Chain A
Amino acid sequence: GAVVSQHPSRVICKSGTSVKIECRSLDFQATTMFWYRQFPKQSLMLMATSNEGSKATYEQGVEKDKFLINHASLTLSTLTVTSAHPEDSSFYICSAPLSGRRETQYFGPGTRLLVL
Chain B
Amino acid sequence: AQSVTQLGSHVSVSEGALVLLRCNYSSSVPPYLFWYVQYPNQGLQLLLKYTTGATLVKGINGFEAEFKKSETSFHLTKPSAHMSDAAEYFCAVSDLNDMRFGAGTRLTVKP
User: What residues make up the interface of A, taking CB atoms closer than 8 Å to B?
Assistant: 4, 6, 9, 34, 41-44, 46, 91, 93, 95, 101-103, 105-110, 112
Contact = CB atoms under 8 A, between A and B. Distances in A.
Q: Is the interface of B mostly helix, strand, loop or mixed?
A: strand
B97 A107 contact: no
Nearest to B41: A112
A42 B104 contact: yes
Contacts, number: 48
B43 A109 contact: yes
A107 B103 contact: no
A87 B82 CA distance: 37
B45 A107 contact: yes
Question: Ordered nearest first, which 6 A-B pairs have the shortest CB separation?
Answer: A107-B43, A107-B44, A109-B43, A43-B101, A102-B96, A110-B43
Nearest to B104: A43
A103 B41 contact: no
Contacts of B94: 102-103
Interface of B: 32, 34, 36, 41-46, 49, 51, 90, 94, 96-97, 99, 101-104, 106
A20 to B, nearest CB: 18
Given A43-B90, A44-B90, A105 B41 contact: no
Nearest to B45: A107
Given A44-B90, A102-B97, A110 B104 contact: no
A6 B42 CA distance: 11
A93 B44 contact: yes
